């Protein structure tokens, strides 16, 4: 099957009451790991490329690698999504290359750091919807701002900051004004491996991140058909961090989002769950272990092979936990032309 519009994948997930993982990729091995997991669990999947990824690998390389994944896995619905598009220009480039879904992150300015005004967010999001929907391409936008400055973007808010969490009333207004297909909400998650930002004042121990899951429930009450997106949803498993630290890494005080919290979100309208850090941790641990145990190795395939296998394992677990496993064959895939009709733009 060809690439599928993300909107269909999310509509079907809503019907089935499950969530779909959106996994970040930068190279061939990550794409292969995700597809191995999707194929073994028979899960629909969203493969996404951030601006950082596009800079690292160049859009056209990633596009063609994802296209190879599509040809290699004809039975799996795959959406190719631009993650955290910062401007209309970036979105246009992704559309020209054949992405079936784009995110315009108008919650921040084009620098990817400064929080935007509500009006500016609405304006740029509407511009992207006007550009994408006539082509059958899905649009994700964001209301509220995530914490964390890892990965070179984000507003630089301290993880755990509640200042820019999504206001459900504003989310409702934004969703209705813009007509987006998926809405990223800020409920206390942040990008990267250090999501807590809180320590026990007495013991100094890192505490779990404070999440405002009740905001998701409130948005779902107001907008039962809105597909919500949780960014910063890596669970940062301690066992993966332990492998890194055991083999020479230094990652103290990490904390992720407990899977049960994501599952609670899925019960209340979260349909797309963004995961990048868990894949990074799995691959880094596997590479460190290989080099520590076999210091004579220098063939890239010797270290990429266990890294790819470790990534596949963590992705597989998430597909099962989000409930997407077994749903790949539930529906006939739509083309972008079919999707145009849904949006009201017949060919």
Tell which one of 75, 152, 224, 248 touches ligand G3H (CB under 6 A). 152
Binding of ligand G3H by 233 (CB under 6 A): no
Q: Please name the residue ranges forming H helices in 223-299.
A: 238-246, 259-267, 277-293
Interface residue with Zn ion, options 7, 51, 126, 231 (CB under 5 A): 231
Q: Which is nearer to ligand 13P, 34 or 334 (CB)?
A: 34
Q: Site size for ligand G3H, by CB under 6 A?
A: 11
Q: Minimum Å distance from CB 70 to ligand G3H? A: 22
Binding site for ligand 13P (CB under 6 A): 24, 83-84, 191-192, 231-234, 274-277
Q: Considering beta carbons, is residue 184 or 334 the nearer one to ligand 13P?
A: 184
Q: How far is residue 26's CA from residue 307's CA, in Å, rounded to a whole number?
A: 14
What does each C-alpha distance from 168 to 17, 50, 160, 228, 260 come to in angstroms?
21, 26, 18, 12, 22
Q: Which residues are catalytic?
A: 83
Contacting residue, 16, 52, 179, 237, with ligand G3H by CB under 6 A: 52
For ligand G3H, give the closer residue by CB, 56 or 345.
Answer: 56
Asked if 332 and 47 touch (Cβ cutoff 8 Å), the reply is no
Three-class DSSP category at 183: strand
Quote the CA–CA distance of 133 and 122 in Å, as a whole number: 16
Cβ closest to ligand G3H, residue 153 vs residue 316? 153
Q: Tell me the sheet residues that pair with 115.
A: 108
What's the min distance (Å) between Cβ of 26 and ligand G3H? 7
152 binds, among ligand 13P, ligand G3H, Zn ion, none (CB under 5 to 8 A by kind): ligand G3H
Does position 153 interact with Zn ion (CB under 5 A)? The reply is no
Block residue for tokens 């040809």: 71
Span of 50-58, 93-101, 254-262, 303-311 interacting with ligand G3H by CB under 6 A: 50-58
Contact at 8 Å (CB) between 301 and 287? no
209 binds, among ligand 13P, Zn ion, ligand G3H, none (CB under 5 to 8 A by kind): none
Handedness of CA 297, 303, 304, 305 (dihedral sign): positive
CB crowding 86-120: b at 16 or more within 10 Å, else e: bbeebbebbbebbbbbbbbbbbbbeebeebbebee
* Nearer of residues 25 and 339 to ligand 13P, judged by Cβ: 25
């Amino acid at each position: 099957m060809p690439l599928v519009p993300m909107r269909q994948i999310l509509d079907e997930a809503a019907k089935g009451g499950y969530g779909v993982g959106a996994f970040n990729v930068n190279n061939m091995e990550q794409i292969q790991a995700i597809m191995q997991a999707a194929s073994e669990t028979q899960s629909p999947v969203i493969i996404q490329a951030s601006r950082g990824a596009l800079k690292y690998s160049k859009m056209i390389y990633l596009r063609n690698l994802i296209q190879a994944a599509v040809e290699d896995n004809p039975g799996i619905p795959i959406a190719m999504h631009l993650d955290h598009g910062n401007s209309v220009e970036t979105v246009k480039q992704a559309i020209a290359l054949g992405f079936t879904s784009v995110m315009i992150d108008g919650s921040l300015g084009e620098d990817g750091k400064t929080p935007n005004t509500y009006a500016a967010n609405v304006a740029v999001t509407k511009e992207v919807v006007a550009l994408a929907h006539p082509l059958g391409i899905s649009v994700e936008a964001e209301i509220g701002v995530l914490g964390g400055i890892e990965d070179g973007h984000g507003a630089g808010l301290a993880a755990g900051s509640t200042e820019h969490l999504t206001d459900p009333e504003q989310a409702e207004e934004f969703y209705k004004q813009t007509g987006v297909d998926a809405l990223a909400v800020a409920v206390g998650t942040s990008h990267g491996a250090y999501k807590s930002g809180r320590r026990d004042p007495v013991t100094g121990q890192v505490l779990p991140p404070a999440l405002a899951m009740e905001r998701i429930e409130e948005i779902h009450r107001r907008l039962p058909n809105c597909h919500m997106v949780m960014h910063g949803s890596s669970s940062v498993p301690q066992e993966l961090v332990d492998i890194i630290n055991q083999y020479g890494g230094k990652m103290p005080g990490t904390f992720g989002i407990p899977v049960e919290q994501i599952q609670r979100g899925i019960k209340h309208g979260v349909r797309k769950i963004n995961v990048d850090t868990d894949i990074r941790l799995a691959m880094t641990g596997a590479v460190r272990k290989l080099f520590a145990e076999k210091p004579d190795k220098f063939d890239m395939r010797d270290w990429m092979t266990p890294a790819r296998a470790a990534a596949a394992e963590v992705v597989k677990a998430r597909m099962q936990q989000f409930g997407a496993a077994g749903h790949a064959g539930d529906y006939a895939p739509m083309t972008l032309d079919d999707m145009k009709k849904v949006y009201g733009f017949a060919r």
